[in-house]
Amino acid sequence: MTSYEGTHPTVPVRVGNLHARIDERLAPTVQAIWECGIDTFTCCQDLAESNADWPEKLPHMAEWLESRRGWMLIDFPVDSGLLAFLSVVANAGPRDAFYVRMTHWAAPDAWDVKIKPMDAAMFREDQPSDFGLRLLQVSFPAYDLPELTRRLREHIAGRNVPPAPVDWSTVGR
């Protein structure tokens, strides 16, 4: 995991060869993700707090910033397991409102899962543009953190939940 000192207090996390200072609220979750054999890139325990000064320089970001208040983020390298992460979390708990938020874009407080292409020239401006898929990102409301961590721990303990019907009423199905 790449570690960048930021706004939030961090704590050291180590699992095997993986080690970094992680935002304290996300540390147990990132540790569990690593214990599942899934690598991460970066994380943030509150996107609005981390970017609070943006509107001073970038007024157009004020609305986005407010929409991310109370939202967390975990980034995964493209060659590591965002899809494995989502499958682990989905299979280790019931198909409830949490499940609907993480799987359907139209659910209230739906998780935001994105692929972020990046240009290598952003970091080496003397080079020609060379875009690649380097970052997979999942953002979720902070109130989902306890259930997310619980599900990761259930998976680690080998306890998955059998498939069952889903209440899709919040997304019009």
Task: Print burial letters for 119-137: b (CB count within 10 Å at least 16), e (below 16).
Answer: eeeeeeeeeeeeeeebbbb
Dist CA 63 CA 109 (whole Å): 16
Does the pLDDT at position 95 exceed 70? yes
* Domain edges within the chain: 10-162
Pick the residue with more confidence: 166 or 78? Answer: 166
Q: What pLDDT score does 38 carry? A: 93
Total number of residues shown for the chain: 173
pLDDT band at 4 (very low <50, low <70, confident <90, very high): very low
Question: What does pTM read for this prediction?
Answer: 0.86
Please give the mean pLDDT across all residues of the chain.
Answer: 90
- Please check whether residue 63 is in contact with residue 132, taking contact to mean a CB–CB distance below 8 angstroms: no
- Phi, psi dihedrals of residue 63, rounded to the nearest 5°: -65, -45
pLDDT at 5: 55
Q: What percentage of the chain exceeds 90 in pLDDT?
A: 64
3: pLDDT strictly greater than 70: no
State which of 78-82, 91-95, 124-128 shows the largest mean pLDDT: 91-95
Amino acid at the residue 103: T
Is pLDDT above 80 for 111? yes
Least confident of 16-30, 31-45, 71-85: 71-85
